[in-house]
Amino acid sequence: MSIAIDCQKLSKRYGRGDDFALKNLDLQVNTGEIYGFLGPNGAGKSTAIRTLLNFIQPTSGSATILGQNVVKDSVKAKRQVGYLAGEVALYPRMTGRQFLNYMTDLQPLKHPDYQQKLVKQFGAQLDKPIEELSKGNRQKIGIIQAFMHEPDVLILDEPTSGLDPLMQAAFYELAESAKQRGAAVFLSSHDLTEVRKMCDRIGFIRGGKLVAEKTIADLQAVAAHNFDITFKGSAPLEELRELKDAEVQPVTDNSVIVKLQGDLTPLFALLAKSSVLSLDKQDINLDEEFMSLYKGPKS
């Protein structure tokens, strides 16, 4: 595994103001990894992506894609990049086929059959003018153009926006197969479920700064576990509330939901002393972890 995208103290300030849209971003994305880039609107996600693609130039710091500087060696860097914009803008009068041919002329395909495979996989409509297509169908063409030349680095801004659940699943599969062949996938998203499902690592950006970077395993380790417990008699509420980092929510007289973070041993020790009729563990809910990072104080 090697570093595919490397940002070193990457900063961007628009105009002459003091506010940085991106401040000292240090970030690495490895080959064979899907990296999710999360943050509220205006956090700096798109600025980071646009800087990586040299649409805008960094105020300070540097970034490389597969070792190529994104400013000085931008053209070389982009030979290995597939990009999907957040609001995918295509040529409205072209048909999907004409558009894909145009993009292919600018960046030849490694395997011409692969484009056809993607077209079939997504059921893309290629013979209608793009202006007549729905947002979802335009997004399919956007995804195909980003993946069709089998790039080693994929930079995707809100890639599943407008796709139906079936096509979202097809996209997850596509991203996973890119990862399996060793590509680095760097994607921004607002969809926490999607990020949790797809990504190996997640970076949280807020106010132009990377405030946290975690693997899904890290998040799961610190995430609260929810247990739905039914006791034979009354629930031992007082004893449950005394457990460290536990939140107890009574449901009925003999049933409670216990939310517990960290070590589970004290809970099970208590349950061993009680008469328990049923114990259900709910799925780990990472959304709360995400939300705490989203909402945290601006640093």
Contacts with another protein, residue ranges (CB under 8 A): 14, 50, 53-57, 74-76, 78-79, 81, 83, 85, 87, 89-91, 93, 102-103, 105-107, 145
CA distances from 51 to 46, 81, 126 (A): 8, 14, 31
Least Å from the CB of residue 113 to another protein: 21
Least Å from the CB of residue 175 to another protein: 18
Please measure the distance between the N-terminal and C-terminal CA atoms of the chain and give it in whole angstroms: 32
Closer residue to another protein (CB): 8 or 74: 74
Q: How would DSSP label each residue in 61-91?
A: EEEEETTEETTTTHHHHHTTEEEE-SS----
Which residues on adjacent β-strands are paired with residue 209? 206
Distance, CA of 189 to CA of 287 (rounded, Å): 13
Helix (H, G, I), strand (E, B) or coil at 142: helix
Amino acid code (one letter) for 231: F
Taking residue 177's Cβ as centre, other Cβ atoms within 10 Å add up to 12
Distance, CA of 256 to CA of 112 (rounded, Å): 58
Least Å from the CB of residue 167 to another protein: 21
Residues sharing a CB contact under 8 Å with residue 181, sequence separation 6 or more, in sequence order: 150
Closer residue to another protein (CB): 49 or 175: 49
Distance, CA of 243 to CA of 238 (rounded, Å): 9
Closer residue to another protein (CB): 56 or 243: 56
Taking residue 16's Cβ as centre, other Cβ atoms within 10 Å add up to 5
- Are 80 and 117 spatial neighbours (Cβ–Cβ below 8 Å)? no
Amino acid code (one letter) for 2: S
Closer residue to another protein (CB): 28 or 80: 80
Least Å from the CB of residue 111 to another protein: 18
Closer residue to another protein (CB): 1 or 75: 75
Least Å from the CB of residue 34 to another protein: 19
Least Å from the CB of residue 144 to another protein: 13
Closer residue to another protein (CB): 82 or 203: 82
Least Å from the CB of residue 207 to another protein: 20
Closer residue to another protein (CB): 105 or 127: 105
Closer residue to another protein (CB): 78 or 206: 78
Q: What are phi and psi of 72, to 5 degrees?
A: -75, -35
Least Å from the CB of residue 182 to another protein: 20
